[in-house]
Amino acid sequence: MKICILSDSHDHIPLLRAAAEDAVRLGAEAILHCGDVVAPSTLNCLNKIENPVPVHVIHGNNTGDLVALTRNTTHPDSVVRYHGQDAGIELGGKRIFIVHYPHYAKAMALTGDWDIVCCGHSHKVEIDTITNVNGDQTACVNPGTVGGVGTSPATWILANLDTMTFEVHEVDKAIEFRTATAS
């Protein structure tokens, strides 16, 4: 099973949508958003992509309107599931923990309770393997910022859960400007 891991969209809708569309085209069967959506309406674009897949999202430190986020993601037609400040889910037989902060992610990876821990916040791509308390390996994955915040590139990760491999992908930030001028 392949999944898309992204974070820190910060209301950059064209970049978020482009990443989601690329991920689905490449075989992603789910999307994990590690926080900092900001405006709840940002996630509406994920319901509009061709062949939408389930989306698991947490809020991060730029929370926006949490009531609206909850309301939007509980709509019967929404593919988005809002989990709050963190989430423990299982996909493709892998235990996955989603949290916004890298230091929290590294601590959770050490517990041995998770196969993969995903985070965001730093706007920097990091893919680490952490030896946990059981002596096993836990992947700790930060996809950077899909919103391309500041001078950071707009990045996301395609994870293959069968092989436990992680590919970094980049969205052309110019998409945002082409979309704005086409409106």
SS3 121: coil
Pairing of strands 94-99, 116-118: parallel
DSSP code per residue over 94-108: EEEEEES-HHHHHHH
CA 107 to chain CA centroid, Å, is 19
Distance CA(14)–CA(11), nearest Å, equals: 9
Domains with residue ranges and CATH for the chain: 2-182 (3.60.21.10)
Q: Is 100 exposed, middle or buried (0-12, 13-18, 19+ CB in 10 A)?
A: buried
pLDDT in tens, 29-84: 999 999 999 887 888 899 999 999 999 999 888 877 777 777 777 777 889 999 99
H/E run at residue 177 = helix 174-182
| pTM as predicted | 0.93
